[in-house]
Amino acid sequence: MEKLQILFAASEAFPFAKSGGLGDVIGSLPKAFPSKETDVRVIIPKYDCIPQEYIDESKLVDIFYVHVGNSNQYCGILEYKADNVTYYFIDNEYYFKRPGLYGYYDDAERFIFFSRAVLECIPYINFYPDILHCHDWQTALVPYLLKEQYAWHYQNVKTVFTIHNMKYQGVYSFSDVAGLLNFDYFPMTMEFYNNINFMKGALYTADLVTTVSPTYAEEIKQPYYGEGLDGVVVDIAYKEVGILNGIDDNEYNPQNDPHIWTNFKSSYLKKTENKKALQAHMNLPVDETKPVISMITRLVDQKGIDLVAAVIHEILQMDLQFIVLGTGDSQYENMLREVAYTYPDKMRACITFDEDLSRKIYAGSDIFLMPSKFEPCGLSQLIAMRYGAIPIVRETGGLKDTVHQFDTETQEGNGFSFSTYNAHDMLNVIQNAVNLFHTDKEAWKKLTDNALKSKFDWKSSADKYLDYYKKITGRQS
């Protein structure tokens, strides 16, 4: 049988361009498909931040012009190959030769251009996909436009749309985007309180809708998580599934991670070496009997920082050390700086984005706190477990699917969890974790072992995606 042809369209992919979890997913999932059965290609914009070495190794495939409203926009296609995956970079300096990835006044126009470029480049790259897999609002127009404006050209292309975060939907006023999209009517499948909602269009028109964890796939049917589209998700539930993300086992590997002080596999002793080095690095008292709790996170409401703020003084009354690495809302940054100043022997606030330091903290922490209000999947808790830091999470989205409460009787479980979004429930669980650390070393070692053995690789996720691809293309009943 011929290989299944899969084209990923996304706005970021590690190591070319990344602003968060989406970049990680697009960087790792395509590589995890079996090359015997699939030909996987990825298409992203050619941002200015893509390291020059990749551009130097790319070849120009072709040049054509894309209609955006009444204008004709240049579109170059560059091709780069690595690890069985072909990458295409869509080049237009007017739209993409800027610092960073997003946050511009004309983001809607930039991704309308990109979405059309994805659809129109197919004959130029001579790759007619069986599956066109789109991600988040930036490429949400692709399934919609394919059905409404390009169906004649691509009758056999099936579309998949993945929601990585329901909070960002691409909502614009009709008057701003109608001309750019050549709409002479108001499409009801995109209507959202009199605006145009790109994500809503994808939910209705894609052949399959996925989210990044089974629990989040259910949660977004409720108003609390649905960000206004819960009714639509209920409507399309027949074609919606949740598939867990994984982490790149080679990238995040305490056995050979060059960022950490002492490489380790399962040795608790070597992990403790990292902890002592971290304490010294942070200028905290070097004392292996104190549990080190850490957070590595965007400092935004989603991540439950308000819960931490509400009980931060109670947390710091406990016999522990607390390290936070993060950037985000200035109110949270300032709060953390102030508290760290008040507890110089117990807390550090590193208000920066630092990949190297993040690895050192994962490896040196006993406990990793992630009390999110919502969490589509979450990668940080997976990385924490890979480095033997025990997660404390709220039971939501991917956190619920990956972290299971440790049971001291059966010795099963890889972390701690609480269900209600409540600061004192969280505090209670932190107290339990700190207690266990201080009073039962054997149980703690077993728990660390369970966390280190938890497997969240991409292979099983890729297998699930492949099954669904086969179903919707009719290759499997």
Contacts of 195 (CB under 8 A, 6+ apart): 171, 172, 173, 174
Contacts of 30 (CB under 8 A, 6+ apart): 6, 8, 40, 41, 42, 85
Task: Report the nearest approach of ligand ADP to the CB of residue 454 (Å).
Answer: 15
Among 45, 170, 201, 326, the residue binding ligand ADP under the rule CB under 6 A is 326
Q: 192 or 368, CB closer to ligand ADP?
A: 368
Q: Name 407's bridge partners.
A: 412
If one asks whether residue 325 binds ligand ADP (CB under 6 A), the answer comes out as: yes
- Could you give the CA distance from residue 285 to residue 168 in angstroms, rounded to a whole number? 42
Q: Which stretch binds ligand ADP (CB under 6 A): 166-174, 219-227, 236-244, 322-330?
A: 322-330
If one asks whether residue 379 binds ligand ADP (CB under 6 A), the answer comes out as: yes
If one asks whether residue 243 binds ligand ADP (CB under 6 A), the answer comes out as: no
- Could you give the CA distance from residue 272 to residue 49 in angstroms, rounded to a whole number? 37
Among 435, 293, 441, 270, which residue's Cα sits nearest to residue 284?
Answer: 293
Distance of CA 473 to the CA centre of its chain: 27
If one asks whether residue 354 binds ligand ADP (CB under 6 A), the answer comes out as: yes
If one asks whether residue 358 binds ligand ADP (CB under 6 A), the answer comes out as: yes
How many helices and strands, by DSSP H and E, does the chain display?
Answer: 21, 18
- Could you give the CA distance from residue 260 to residue 150 in angstroms, rounded to a whole number? 50
Longest dimension (CA), the chain: 71
Burial class of residue 340, CB neighbours in 10 A (0-12, 13-18, 19+): buried
Are 329 and 299 in contact by the 8 Å Cβ rule? The answer is: yes
Among 380, 402, 450, 461, the residue binding ligand ADP under the rule CB under 6 A is 380
Among 427, 379, 415, 371, which residue's Cα sits nearest to residue 396?
Answer: 371
For the segment 123-162, give every residue that binds ligand ADP (CB under 6 A). Answer: none
If one asks whether residue 327 binds ligand ADP (CB under 6 A), the answer comes out as: yes
If one asks whether residue 298 binds ligand ADP (CB under 6 A), the answer comes out as: yes
Task: Report the nearest approach of ligand ADP to the CB of residue 350 (Å).
Answer: 7
If one asks whether residue 20 binds ligand ADP (CB under 6 A), the answer comes out as: yes
Q: Which stretch binds ligand ADP (CB under 6 A): 89-97, 166-174, 198-206, 352-360?
A: 352-360
User: Radius of gyration of the chain from Cα atoms?
Assistant: 23
Q: 281 or 298, CB closer to ligand ADP?
A: 298
Among 138, 297, 396, 461, the residue binding ligand ADP under the rule CB under 6 A is 297
Q: 177 or 383, CB closer to ligand ADP?
A: 383
Q: Which stretch binds ligand ADP (CB under 6 A): 93-101, 142-150, 375-383, 467-475?
A: 375-383
Q: Which stretch binds ligand ADP (CB under 6 A): 229-237, 279-287, 372-380, 412-420?
A: 372-380
Q: Which stretch binds ligand ADP (CB under 6 A): 32-40, 219-227, 254-262, 354-362?
A: 354-362
- Give the count of alpha carbons within 13 A of 474, CB side only: 4
Residues that bind ligand ADP (CB under 6 A): 20-21, 296-298, 325-327, 353-355, 358, 378-380, 383
